[in-house]
Amino acid sequence: MTTDIQVSIVIPLFNESESLPELHRWIQDVMQANSLRYEVIFVDDGSKDGSWEIIEGLRQIDTHVKGIKFQRNYGKSAALHVGFEKVVGEVVITMDADLQDSPEEIPALFEMITVQDYDVVSGWKKKRHDPMTKTLPTKLYNWAARRITGIYLHDFNCGLKAYKNSVVKSIELYGDMHRYIPALAKYAGFIKIGEKVVQHQARKYGVTKFGLNRFLNGPLDLMTVAFMGKFGKKPMHFFGAWGILMFILGFGLFLYMGIDKLFFNTTSLRLSERSEFFVALVAMIIGIQFFLTGFIAELIGRNSSTRNHYLVENELF
C-alpha cells in the first residue's frame, strides 16, 4: 500500500475527556522526536462527558488528528472496526485513551513490524498496576486463550498492539472480538505474531469502563473465535463428526444389549428396564441433533454472501 503516512494510531475511547489533551501532546512529542509521519484516529464510542468537543479542538490545532463519533456506546470492537476501515498508514497501532498505554512504545513497535517483518505485535504488561481481583482472572484467561488458539502470548487483552495495514484490512471485528485480534489474524493467514514487554501506567484519570461481565463474555467469545477460525466455512466437519460418533456409540450399545438379551441373558430384565437403554437412546438422539445442526449450518453458509470470500495475497496472470 502506497501512502505517505507511516503510522496510523487508532484510539477508541468512552468518557476520557480528562486524559485526551495530555495523551495527544505525548503522542505528538514521540512522533516528532522519531520523525514519523502519522495520523491519530480518535473513535468516540458515545461519550457523554465532552470528549468529542476536545477532539474537535485538537483537530483545529493539529491536522494529524482525525475523529469518529458514535451516536451511542457500541463497544470497543465496534470502535476499532470503524477505525481500521479508515486507516491508511503502513503500520497500525492501537492503544487505550486512559494514559495506561505509553506512546513511548510506538517507535519500537513500528520497527518490529517494518524491520523484523512481524504481522502482529502484541504488548505484554508484565508489571501491572491492577488489583489482584483483576490480575488473577486475567492470568487464567490468557492461559486458556493460549491453549485454545495455539498463540503463545502472555497478554491477549493488552490494548497496545501493532499491525501491518493488510492485517486490519483482512479481519472483521464485532461483539467483543477485540480481545482476540491475534487469533483472528492467525486464522486469516498472518502467522508471524510477536510480543513486546510494554510499560503499564497507573490510571491517572477516571475509572475503568470494564465490569464483571467480561469474565463471562471473554470465554464465550474465545470459543466463538476458535470455532469460526477452524470450522466457519465447514461446520458439518465439526457437528457431523460428533453426531456420527454419538449415534454410533448409542447404536452400538443398543446392539450389544440386544445380542446379550437374545443369546446370553434371556431371562434378564426387559431392555426398556435397563439403565443402559436410556443412555443409548439419549446418545442416538444427541447424535441426530448434532448432525442436523451441521446440516442446517451448511445450508445457512451456502447462502452467505461471504461463502467464497478468500484472502488473496498476490496474483500473477
Alpha-carbon distance 4 to 133, whole Å?
Answer: 44
Convert the pLDDT of each residue in 89-138 to its tens digit.
Answer: 999 999 999 888 999 999 999 999 999 999 999 999 887 766 666 667 77
Confidence of residue 307 (pLDDT cuts 50, 70, 90): low
Domain count, the chain: 2
First to last CA, the chain: 20
Convert the pLDDT of each residue in 251-296 to its tens digit.
Answer: 999 888 888 877 777 666 677 778 888 899 999 999 999 989 888 8
Domain extent for 16: 7-231
Alpha-carbon distance 106 to 7, whole Å?
Answer: 9
In a domain, 277, yes or no: yes
Residues 69, 96, single domain; the answer is: yes
212 contacts: CB under 8 Å, gap ≥ 6: none
Q: Quick check: 196 and 109 in contact, CB under 8 A?
A: yes
Sign of CA dihedral 160, 181, 107, 68: negative
Residues 35, 50, single domain; the answer is: yes
Using the structure block, give the residue that is written with the C-alpha cell 501512502.
3
The rounded radius of gyration (Å) of the Cα atoms in the chain is 26
- The larger pLDDT score, comparing residue 233 to residue 237, is at 237
Residues 289, 179, single domain; the answer is: no
What confidence score (pLDDT) does residue 262 get? 79
Grid cell of 171 as nine digits: 479481519
Q: Quick check: 120 and 193 in contact, CB under 8 A?
A: yes
Using the structure block, give the residue that is written with the C-alpha cell 492501537.
94
| Domain edge (last residue) among 231, 253, 274 | 231
Residues 259, 226, single domain; the answer is: no
Q: Quick check: 200 and 129 in contact, CB under 8 A?
A: yes
| Domain edge (last residue) among 204, 231, 258 | 231
CA distances from 50 to 20, 46, 182, 312 (A): 11, 10, 33, 43
Alpha-carbon distance 229 to 96, whole Å?
Answer: 27
Residues 112, 258, single domain; the answer is: no
Q: Quick check: 253 and 276 in contact, CB under 8 A?
A: yes
How much of the chain, in percent, has pLDDT values that exceed 70? 84
CA 232 from chain centre, in angstroms, equals 15
In a domain, 312, yes or no: no
Number of residues assigned to the chain:
317
Mean pLDDT of the chain: 84
Alpha-carbon distance 77 to 61, whole Å?
Answer: 29
pLDDT exceeds 90 at position 213 = no
Convert the pLDDT of each residue in 19-29 to its tens digit.
Answer: 999 999 999 99
pTM of the model: 0.74
pLDDT exceeds 90 at position 201 = no
67 contacts: CB under 8 Å, gap ≥ 6: 41, 42, 43, 44, 52, 55, 56, 59
- The larger pLDDT score, comparing residue 1 to residue 53, is at 53
Residues 24, 101, single domain; the answer is: yes
Q: 3-12, 112-121, 227-236, 280-289: which range is least confident on average?
A: 227-236
Amino acid (1-letter code) at residue 263:
F
CA 251 from chain centre, in angstroms, equals 40
pLDDT exceeds 50 at position 310 = no
- Average pLDDT, stretch 169-195? 88
What confidence score (pLDDT) does residue 102 get? 92
Residues 144, 282, single domain; the answer is: no
| Domain edge (last residue) among 173, 199, 231 | 231
* Most confident option among 175-189, 211-225, 228-242: 175-189
Residues 216, 270, single domain; the answer is: no
Residues 130, 265, single domain; the answer is: no
Residues 135, 250, single domain; the answer is: no
How much of the chain, in percent, has pLDDT values that exceed 90? 45
128 contacts: CB under 8 Å, gap ≥ 6: 135, 200
In a domain, 1, yes or no: no
Q: Quick check: 180 and 221 in contact, CB under 8 A?
A: yes
- Strands 161-164 and 91-94, by their bridges, are antiparallel
- Which H/E stretch holds residue 289? helix 275-302
Convert the pLDDT of each residue in 50-65 to its tens digit.
Answer: 899 999 999 999 999 9
Alpha-carbon distance 263 to 123, whole Å?
Answer: 67
- The larger pLDDT score, comparing residue 219 to residue 316, is at 219
